[in-house]
Amino acid sequence: MARASGAPAGVRAAVIDGLLEVDLGPRVRAGFTTTRFNLALAAGVAALRAAWGTPLALADQVHGATVAWVTRPGPAATAGPSGLVELARVGAVRAGPDALAGAGPVGPGAGGLDGAGVSVYPACDALAAGVDGAGVSVYPACDALVAGVDGIGLVIRTADCVPVLLADPSAALVAAVHAGWRGLMAGVVNAALGALQSRGARHVRAAIGPAICADHYQVGQDLAAAAAQAGHSVSRGPDGTAHLDVAASVRAQLEAGGARIVADLRECTAESARLFSWRARRDTGRQAALIALT
C-alpha cells in the first residue's frame, strides 16, 4: 500500500531536494532518494555526490548476501584508470552462495581486517568510469556496505527491492543493505547485522526505505513455497496468485536480530510517481539509500 499522508515517524525535514532524510541518531546522516537522482546513470551518481558533499562508496550489487567493510585508504591509494580516487579497500565476508561469484582477491591478504574467511578487495574505479569528478568508488560483488569511519557515504541502489540503513551511533558503525528476494533468502539482513555486531554494535537502529508492496509483487509458486518454508511473508490474492512481502520479512528479520526500527517509510514503488519501479513501469532508473558517519 502507499504511504499514508504526512511524514512517517523518523523522517526529517528535507535538506536536499529529492532526499528523504531519516533520523538514525547523533553523528549519522541517512536518507533515501527519489527520481530526482537516477543512480542508474553516471550523471545521477555525480549529482548525488555533489549534493551529499562527501565521497561515496557505491555497491555494485549481485543480489546475494555479501557484506563489504569500507575503511580509510592507506597512504599508497592512487587514482584508478577512470581518474577517480580510490577511497578504501573492501573486506568481503562470504555469507551466501552468491557471495563474490566469479570474483577473486586482487589486493593484499586479509591481515588486520577480520582474519580467516575474509579477503581484501580494492575499490574498482574502472566500474565508475564516466562519473564526473573524483570522490566515487565502486565496490564489486556485494549487497551490503559497512563502515566505522566518518566522511564516506555508503550507497546501495534499488528500484523495487528493500533498502535498509543501519546505525549504532554509540559504536560509530553504519551500514547500507540491499534486500531483494534473493538477498532475503540468502540472509543479507542477518549478515549485515552480524557484521555490525562483530565490531561491537549493541544498539542498532534501522530505517526501511521505499519498496514494492506485496499487492504488486506476484511471484511464482516455487518461490512462494520456498519463501513460506523459510518463514517469510507470503500471501494469496483473490485469484490464488502468490505474493511475497519482502519488506515485512525484512522487518521481522531486523527485529529478530535485535535492531530497533526507528523509521519505516512504507511507500510502495509501484504506486508512487516519485519513485522508480521496474516491476510496475519497467523503469530503468534506480534510487539510492545512503548513510554516513559525520
pLDDT value, residue 215: 93
Provide the 10 A C-beta neighbour count for residue 182.
Answer: 18
Q: Which CATH superfamily is domain 19-212+260-293 in?
A: CNF1/YfiH-like putative cysteine hydrolases (3.60.140.10)
- Is the pLDDT assigned to residue 62 strictly greater than 90? no
- Mean pLDDT, range 111-121, rounded to an integer: 30
Instruction: Provide long-range contacts, Cβ within 8 A and 24+ apart, for 19-23.
Output: 19/51, 20/209, 20/210, 20/265, 22/165, 22/207, 22/262, 22/263, 22/265, 23/262, 23/263
Supply the pTM of this predicted model.
Answer: 0.81
User: Do β-strands 56-60 and 136-140 pair in parallel, antiparallel, or remain unpaired?
Assistant: parallel
107 band by pLDDT with thresholds 50, 70 and 90: very low
Residues in the chain: 294
Domain boundaries, the chain: 19-212+260-293
72 band by pLDDT with thresholds 50, 70 and 90: low
- Given a contact cutoff of 8 angstroms between Cβ atoms, the answer to whether 87 and 123 are in contact is yes
The DSSP secondary structure of 160-212, one letter per residue, reads SSEEEEEEEGGGTEEEEEEE-HHHHHHTHHHHHHHHHHHTT--S-EEEE--B-
User: What are the pLDDT digits (tens) for 14-32?
Assistant: 679 999 999 999 999 999 9
- Mean pLDDT, range 65-81, rounded to an integer: 54
CA-based nearest residue to 166, from 293, 8, 51: 293
- Is the pLDDT assigned to residue 220 strictly greater than 70? yes
